[in-house]
Amino acid sequence: MRVRLNDLVWVAMGLAAVTASQASAHGAIAIGGNTSEVAAKGIAVGDGYNYDSQADADARALRECEARRAGTAVGPCAIVTSFSHQWLFVSMDPAPGTPGFGWSIDADRDTAQSNALKQCQASSPDNRKQYCVVTQSDQDERP
């Protein structure tokens, strides 16, 4: 079987388009405060996802985080990680003055959700573990 150069060019162009489109999905998570001080001071979380550039995703995450920490004792927000084509889950104990908090990023939705809940439960006292709930979930999915 003989492959024509023109066919190879079309295949290469198709692969380049797929790679470029996958690279265009950027996400970030920003957290304000210290996870060990959630009970005393609270925590703020912001995210940005489905952005064309990492800088845009970071900027959105920081804006959201700063808006949520406004008027609180929560420390400044910072980007903690970036992600692409993955799920983000945040979990916390919704009662005021409780330490339960967790977050996770994974390509598999169930894994990300489970890990966020486990982190929240691990940071909660025994009598509060069952109160951890998902408070935020997003998927960076744009091709």
pLDDT category at 103 given cuts 50, 70, 90 is: very high
* SS3 readout for 74-103: CCCEEEEEEECCCEEEEEECCCCCCCCEEE
Looking at residue 36, its pLDDT comes to 85
The structure tokens listed for 50 are 């489905």
The structure tokens listed for 36 are 């060990």
Looking at residue 3, its pLDDT comes to 45
- Note the pLDDT tens digit of each residue in 21-79: 445 789 999 999 988 889 999 999 999 999 999 999 999 999 999 999 988 889 999 99
78 within 8 A of 95, measured Cβ to Cβ: no
Looking at residue 143, its pLDDT comes to 57
Burial 2-37 (b: 16+ CB within 10 A, else e): eeeeeeeeeeeeeeeeeeeeeeebbbbbbbbbeeee
Looking at residue 23, its pLDDT comes to 54
**Reported pTM:** 0.80
